[in-house]
Amino acid sequence: MTWHWIGLALFSLTPFPADLAMITGRIPERLRTRLTPTRTRGWAVLALYAVAPLNAIPRMAGSPATTLAATAVAGIVAVTGCVVAAIPALRTANTA
C-alpha cells in the first residue's frame, strides 16, 4: 500500500510545475504560438490531473461514502477541465 501512495504522489506532482508555469505565463517564447491561451490551458491541465488524487485517495482510505462523494467531485472537476480546454478551440474555430 505504501507504493501506491508513493506512486500517487509522484505522478500527481510531476505535471504540477509545468501547470504553474503555464498559469503564470512563464513559458518559452517558441511555445507561445502553439499554446496561445496558456493560462487557460494551464488551469485545464491542472484540473484534469487533479482527478487522479481525488479518485485514488478515498479509495485507498477505504470509506465507501467518501469514495462515492470524491468520485462525483472528480467527475465534475474533469468535465470542468475539458470544457475549459475546449472553449479556446471553439472560439478560434468560430472566428476562422
Residue 38, pLDDT > 80, answer: no
- Cβ(60)–Cβ(70) under 8 Å? no
Grid coordinates representing 22? 503555464
Provide the angle, in degrees to the nearest 10, between the axes of the packed helices 38-61 and 2-13.
170
Residue 43, pLDDT > 80, answer: yes
Average pLDDT on 7-31 reads 78
pLDDT of residue 73: 92
Residue 36, pLDDT > 80, answer: no
Average pLDDT on 37-61 reads 83
Distance (Å, whole) CA 62 – CA 44: 29
79-92 residue pLDDT tens: 999 998 888 777 76
For residue 36, report the phi and psi dihedrals to the nearest 5 degrees.
-55, -55
pLDDT of residue 78: 92
pLDDT of residue 35: 62
